[in-house]
Structure 1
Amino acid sequence: MATPARTQPAWKAPQSSAPAKLKVWNSLTRAKNDFIPIDHEGKEVKWYSCGPTVYDDAHLGHARNYVTIDILRRILAGYFNFNLKFVQNITDVDDKIILRGRQQHLLAQFKEKNPSVTEEVLSTTTEAFDAYVKKNLPLLSPDLKPENFNKESTEKYAAVIAGKSLDGVSTAGDKEAKIKMHLRTAGSAATALLSPVKSTEEEVADFFTGAEDVLLPYLDSLHGPSVDANDHTVFTKLTQKYEARFMEDMRNLNVLDPDVVTRVTEYGDQIVSFVEKIVENKYGYSTSDGSVYFDIEAFEKVSGNHYARLEPWNRNDKDLQADGEGALTKKSSEKRSDADFALWKSSKPGEPSWKSPWGPGRPGWHIECSAMASDVLGEQMDIHSGGIDLCFPHHDNELAQSEGFWSHHEGGHQWVNYFLHMGHLSISGSKMSKSLKNFTTIREALARGDWTARSLRIIFLLGGWHDGVEITDDLRKTGASFESYITNFFYKIRDLEIHPTADASGAEDEKIRKSFEATKEKLHNALADSFDTPTAVRSISALIADYNSANRSALSDKVSFDIARWVTKIVRIFGLDGSADPNDGGIGWSGVDIPSEAKEFVYAVSRERDEIRQHAIAGNLSDELLTAILSKDTPSQKQDAASVPYAEVLSTFQGDVKSLAEKKAPAKEFLALCDRLRDLDLWDLGIYLEDRENAPAMVRPVDAELRSAREQKEAIALQKREAKEKREKDEFEKKAKLAEQAKISHKDMFKTAEFSSWNEDGLPTKDAAGADVPKSRTKKMAKEWEKQKKLHEQYLKGVGGS
């Protein structure tokens, strides 16, 4: 009988004599609560975050979770100045890992035994294909042959393939996404089976790649229990590989390393002790097979204890309960309630095990976090975080068993004060999932250039942390626009550092400072309002808009630098500038500066170019003037290897200027040289000189925006050039055709088989059948005859004929 959902218990707010710095959205209360740390001085914050289950590469959905948590972590530490102890676990043993590790182990053995695609391999793969189709695609014939798969699957699953629900009525969801995955998997295996038998190493590898996902579960169903699970390397070979890749992905996304990393396989003894204490407290019971379950009813009998506090409406959802127990868990008739969940699982053949009072076993999924977090952070923590999909059953089970562990039957124990759950990431409305295989991995996205660490982080800043984020073209454009906006602002400030406006009166200072102070207040209020980063980002954009619209010639440099340092500090706190220190007083973020080894030479050649260009336009380029300009900058004879290309640009430009001066070249050649320096010589080194009216050229790196603009300009120029070439070709062909036509005499032009009689001028009088040519036709041909006569006579004159 289902246990009725209880009312949400009162959350015990932490107490402090000082006012709270911020409010956070707390999943425990489903409301914004004042954030007050347990630490009586209000400085230290204890934070446990659920880490990855490492059996595959992390995808963009994981990036959403971990990058967003990193943003909140940076804001708490960098903006609100809390001292964080941030703990994150690595789940390196659970049902998914056991299955995947064992399956990969068996497939590796199978491939080693069969280095070529033999009849035995084809037979086994066909059986695996049949088993996969029967289990996962029930609308298809149970005896379906691979050669008929495409035709029958297209007919039976037409609605799903078309993006509709299976019934063709309701909205497509995860169920349909799974069907699509199964169709892809079976289709890939069918294609492999239908390919001619291959013998080369590459061809064999292609076959197994296509058939792998049907072979894995099939081989496991045959041989899984026979795997020697006492050899934990069967599983750690997989987990160590993907843990290393996960950490590499996170660093590539500029996610800070945890202060403490815990791994389930390193906590076997502590987890056993943790379960023992829960049983001792009468909240757990063992079964005859050596498993231990959490007793929800016993837990809730004690005043103050409540189960499913995060999502009470899901406490009786059998699908979620089953998912929380894992694919390898078999239903036990000894469970006191269907909702009771495993604390400790007896290990079956082919599963890794650890010693325990109940026999060889392994941890339940949820107990690992409770034991590890309690071991590092103690009986209470400030923050527990993770993806929104972990609320039930994972975090609700964590809460219950942890409070059962720390409880002394004197009432409920509040293990976590604030639960922070990150919203999902979806693309075109579909949530990404490893199990659905509908994801793009982080390393794929970064390698292809779809995203950078900064551009992806900006998207998450714009989306808000606990709301779902759907990546759309509009959101991409908004993110790119913000990044470009900030970059161009930093370009201006960097240029101001090189070309200070010493005569600025500062008349605009008061107006811009008011906007600056108002922005700081808006941003503070936004971050204090449960990390409202979308509003914070908009406030920065608005400040820069005010700055751009100001009369900067009447603005003091100090105000510009103050604003730039503040913007730099905030974007660095958000993690948008790698490992740069938010508090070092620097200006800008990576990508807005040219290489340090280039500066001496590039700034010199830019100054020379500015002066030469200015005098060329004015028509004043005397030898004395050019000599004076070039004498200001003399490259040193020796440079570091990294500086050589830039030094060569300077010396080459100076040499070319001298050559033009010696031959008294016109001003336009000096201007062309200046353009070449900008458009070719420096561009090829990743540097651009942006010419401006009544101001020196701005020296800036060549970025994606500039490259895109140039590519677009070149594409338009190419279109115009191709259109011109086509017009010229058509005109040439037209003239050539006309020239050939001119060679024909007007008296011979109609002497064809269409007619049988002509007059003395060659105009037809009778058609081929002997009938008179109609007058209307004769009139029309006479006009053509006159036109050809003129054309032919002109031709004869041209060749000297008569």
Structure 2
Amino acid sequence: MASDGRKQPPWHAPKAQPDVQLPKLKIYNSLTRSKDDFVPIDPAGKVVTWYGCGPTVYEDAHLGHAKNYVSTDIVRRIMKDYFGFRVKFVMNTTDIDDKIILKGRQQYLLARFKQENATADESVSESVLAETKAAFQKFIGKNLPDLPSDTTPEAFSEAAVKTYKENAQPSSATEGQAVTVTDLLLRARIATARSAAEALQAPGKSPEFFSKTDEILLPYLDGLHGAEMDSNDHKMYLELTSKFERRFFEDMGALNVLYPDELTRVTEYVPQVVSFVEQIITNGFGYSTPDGSVYFDIDSFEKAGHSYSRLEPWNKNDRELQADGEGSLSKGKSAKRNENDFALWKASKPGEPAWPSPWGRGRPGWHIECSAMASEVIGKAIDIHSGGVDLRFPHHDNELAQSEAYWTHQGCQVQWTNYFIHMGQLRIRGLKMSKSLKNFTTIRNVLAEKDWTARSLRISFLLMPWQDGIEVTDELMNAVVGWEGKLNNFFLKSLDLWKNSKSTTTTQELGDADKQLLSSLEKAKSDVDAALCDSFNTSAVMRIITDLVTESNSATGLSDQTVISIAQWITRITTIFGLDPEGDLNSTERIGWSGLDIPAQAQPYIYPAAELRDKIRNLARSGSLDHTSIVKLTEESTVAASTPVVESSKPYDQLLQQFRTDVKDLATKEAPAKDLLALCDQLRDVHLWNLGIYLEDRNNQAALVRPLDKLLVEARAEQESASAAKAKAKLEKEAKEAEREKELRERAKIDPLQMFRTSGEFSQWDENGIPTVDSAGTEVSKSRRKKLVKDWEKQKKIHEQWLATQKAA
């Protein structure tokens, strides 16, 4: 039974042929809300068909898209590279829908407005100011209705703060503060209006003016002229979508996401969409309306024995989600028979792009595009259909209904998709990342700022189950940095062992520690297989890898080959997960991932510098310093003359030359060993560090040359912070001691005969100045006098010492 009490139609699990061997893979299936055995439709059990809902390409992709498509890519790679299926992955890009129509039309009209009002000196004309002021009034009237209708740009800021209080403060969106969708929308609208108000008060040059007012001019110009656009002119929309489709795949490439095996675009499948809709009508599950639209008939569909809203039956009557699925341009009255019915074909209104159809000029509904394209490219049944979790209803529920309605003939029900998988969302402070909420960060910006890399982003998604949401927090970043840093260290040391093992023919005998670790490796392989069979449980795999590396690091007396074997297996798993864009699954020789070595342009200079430094340190620490040998070493440490010093290599060449010169100068002057060691430390801690390179000194081994990573940078920052705190504490202690000594010196100047006479506490004293009667006329008690005498004697002693120092001076 569905959660709303309706009977669910049976989900028919595919059956494998008796002679086909399949992995014991279970996939969490949104259709059944359980983990189901995975059996491909292909009788041979080899080919897997997969349709993935792609992006609506009208703006740059953000981190929310990264979560969806990287998670999809991880599962796809596991299916292909771990389980060995031949995956046919089809994905669409939505290149026409309500958002694209609005965006493309608005951008076209704004560009035309700017061109028509361009001035030679880039000044802002009076006509532009007048139109922008009208746009400003229109914007606040629609989006900030609580403000007085006659609010001027000059009065806006004060009026907004008075009306909307903390939401109108530019700094209101503080880190960690609880915030609602309503708050974010309001803040975004206030920020847009404030920017325009500032521009209207101080227009400046037109480029700066328009950068601050574009957001209010776009809807305003569209309201004035949008309906005038030629419905046959698709260019303004396709130019927009072509640009952002290209940029989307550039972003996906930067994230090491595999390109689809086949890419479909709805504008290239309009005839197929029309035929698809016609067949649904023929089968009795669709109807046209007088305005030329076509709607899906949910009542007829259910009366025929089908079930609608199978993925999220609890949302079947959610008007808000239904409206979002129909699109912003579809608002208003319609002639559909039932409020729940959804559009298969939309009659185009004036100013909207249109294509011919039997019902009049119009365009595809949002949901029908995927059903038509997937059915055209893949066929009657699909193994896997994927998308973000927010697509379950209404988009995927509507796709299911449409496709079953299309493929149903003479009462025969069809199971169009066997497994629906939905990726969890990325959230910021509990909210979905959204362009409308302006709480998103584009993939480009994230990678450009270098707080995250393609690898660290992917690691963060691997650490969580693919179907779960993920919250961007400092704790998550720390977990990612720790995992990546641990693997970097392990791979670097394994590579070093591997390089050394190639230069020797000696076979190392396996000891007990090797046997134990190799046993752990076999268990890890078995555990990883079980985890990946358990609906691609990558978070468990990440823990298994970490535990194996920890055990390897803590073991002693291991043979090189044991460590290398573990490193090669981990390399294979991380390559399957897409953590190395240069990974090669066909190579058994590879260890680690890209980025473990220093830049190629640095290698001819940094490796000789590191080698020279090792030799200098060994000589300086030997106890018998031979300066002549050191001078000779500097003369031998040269780069081959055939190596050209290209521009990108100059900083590294200069570093090598300067180090050689400095070492030679110290050796010529027969400087002590500590000076040579200090110079070696300076090369490591300052000069190489500033070039993004670190030398990891090791006992009885050459220093390991490696690039800096976040773990190293953070460890050094913590060390410097601790050192700074220690130095500060030392200075404070010294200052307190100096103050105390100063007080003691001042106190030593006081004559003991006078020390009790100035306080006003006493009225009589003996011949030595020790009090006998207090200020109230009461005789000083014996116990109190005893303490006073003790203090007097101490003062007498330090005063006499002070007098002696004065006399000596």
Q: When the two structures are superposed, what TM-score results if normalisation uses the length of structure 1?
A: 0.83
For the residue of structure 1 that corresponds to 2:328, the secondary structure is coil
> Shift in Å at residue 227 of structure 1?
1.6
Return 677-686 or 214-223, whichever deviates more. 677-686
Distance 1:102 1:674, change over 3 A: same
Is the 8 Å Cα contact of residues 635 and 651 (structure 1) preserved in structure 2?
no
The residue aligned with 1:185 is 189
2:61 aligned partner, one-letter code: A
2:455 counterpart of 1:448? no
Aligned runs of 1:221-620 on 2, under 5 Å? Answer: 221-303=223-305, 305-331=306-332, 333-500=334-501, 505-507=509-511, 508-551=513-556, 554-585=557-588, 586-596=590-600, 598-599=602-603, 602-620=606-624
The CA distance in 2 between the partners of 1:579 and 1:658, in whole Å, is 41
Following the alignment from structure 1 to structure 2, what is the Cα–Cα distance between the partners of residues 691 and 133?
A: 64
Superimposed CA distance per residue, residues 214-234 of structure 1 (whole angstroms, 9 cap, x where no aligned partner): 222222222211122322122
Displacement of 1:582: 3.0
Q: Which runs of 5+ in 1 are unaligned?
A: 166-170, 736-786
Instruction: Specify whether residues 681 and 440 from structure 1 end up closer, same or farther in structure 2 by C-alpha distance, changes over 3 A only.
Output: closer
User: Higher mean Cα deviation, 126-135 or 267-276?
Assistant: 126-135
Q: For residues 657 and 448 of structure 1, what CA distance do their matches in structure 2 show? A: 38
- Pick one of 129, 135, 139 that aligns with 1:132: 139
Q: CA deviation at 1:314?
A: 1.0
Which stretch of the first structure deviates more once superposed, 663-672 or 69-78?
663-672
How far is 1:333 from its partner? 4.8
Report the CA distance shift for 1:603/1:498 in structure 2 as closer, same or farther (over 3 A).
farther
Cα distance in 1 for partners of 2:499, 2:192 equals 60
Question: How far did 1:150 drift?
Answer: 3.8
Cα pair distance change 1:131/1:192, threshold 3 Å:
closer
1:668 aligns with 2:674: yes
Kept in 2, the 8 Å contact 1:572–1:580? The answer is: yes
1:136-161 deviation digits (Å, cap 9, x = unpaired): 33444444444444444445444867
Verify the 8 A CA contact 2:48 2:87 in the aligned structure 1.
Answer: yes
Q: Which whole-Å deviations, capped at 9, do the CAs of 1:472-504 have from their partners, x for residues lacking one? A: 211111111111111111121122234459686
Q: Does 1:102 align with 2:109?
A: no
- Decide whether the 8 Å contact of 1:5 with 1:313 is kept in 2: no
CA offset digits 1:565-609 (Å, max 9, x no partner) = 111111111111124223322101122123456556544543443
- Tell me by how many angstroms 1:451 deviates: 1.3
Shift, 1:612, TM fit: 3.2
**SS at structure 1 position matched to 2:287:** strand
Quote how far apart the aligned CAs of 1:712 are. Answer: 5.2
**What corresponds to 2:64 in structure 1?**
61
CA–CA distance in 1 between the matches of 2:226 and 2:615? 78
The structure 2 residue matched to 1:27, chosen from 27, 30, 33, is 30
Q: Check conservation: 1:103, 1:216, Cα contact below 8 A.
A: yes
Match among 678, 685, 692 for residue 684 of structure 2: 678
- The secondary structure found in structure 2 opposite 1:440 is coil
Once the two structures are superposed, what CA deviation does each residue of 1:637-666 show, in whole Å capped at 9, x if it has no partner? 221435776566556655655554444333
Native 8 Å contact 1:185 1:213 kept in 2: no
Is 1:621 equivalent to 2:625 in the alignment? Answer: yes
CA deviation digits over 1:9-31, x for unaligned, max 9? 21111110346421000001111
Cα separation, 1, equivalents of 2:204 and 2:577: 51
Output the CA distance in 1 between the equivalents of 2:286 and 2:83.
41
| Percentage identity across paired residues of the two chains | 52
- Could you list the runs of 5+ residues in structure 2 that have no partner in the other structure? 742-797
Structure 1 residue corresponding to 2:707, chosen from 691, 695, 701: 701
Q: Matched residues in 2 for 1:727 and 1:313: separation?
A: 67
Q: Aligned match of 2:695 in 677, 689, 692?
A: 689
Give 1:281 shift: 1.6
How high is the TM-score relative to the length of structure 2? 0.83
Is the CA contact 2:140–2:193 (under 8 Å) kept in the aligned structure 1?
Answer: no
Kindly indicate whether the alpha-carbon contact (under 8 Å) linking 2:456 and 2:480 is maintained by their aligned counterparts in 1.
yes
Q: How far did 1:559 drift?
A: 0.9
- Whichever residue aligns with residue 487 of structure 1, its letter is N
Alpha-carbon distance in 2 for matches of 1:190, 1:370: 44
SS in 1 for 2:330: coil
Change (3 A) 1:381 1:624: same
Distance 1:190 1:667 in 2: 66
Question: Does structure 1 retain, via aligned residues, the 8 Å contact 2:104–2:237?
Answer: yes
Q: Distance in 2 between matches of 1:639 and 1:386?
A: 52
AA matched with 1:696: A
Change (3 A) 1:125 1:10: same
Give, in angstroms, the shift of residue 515 of structure 1. Answer: 1.3
The reply to whether residue 210 of structure 1 matches residue 212 of structure 2 is: yes
Amino acid at match of 1:276: E
Structure 2 Cα separation of the partners of residues 36 and 238 of structure 1: 40
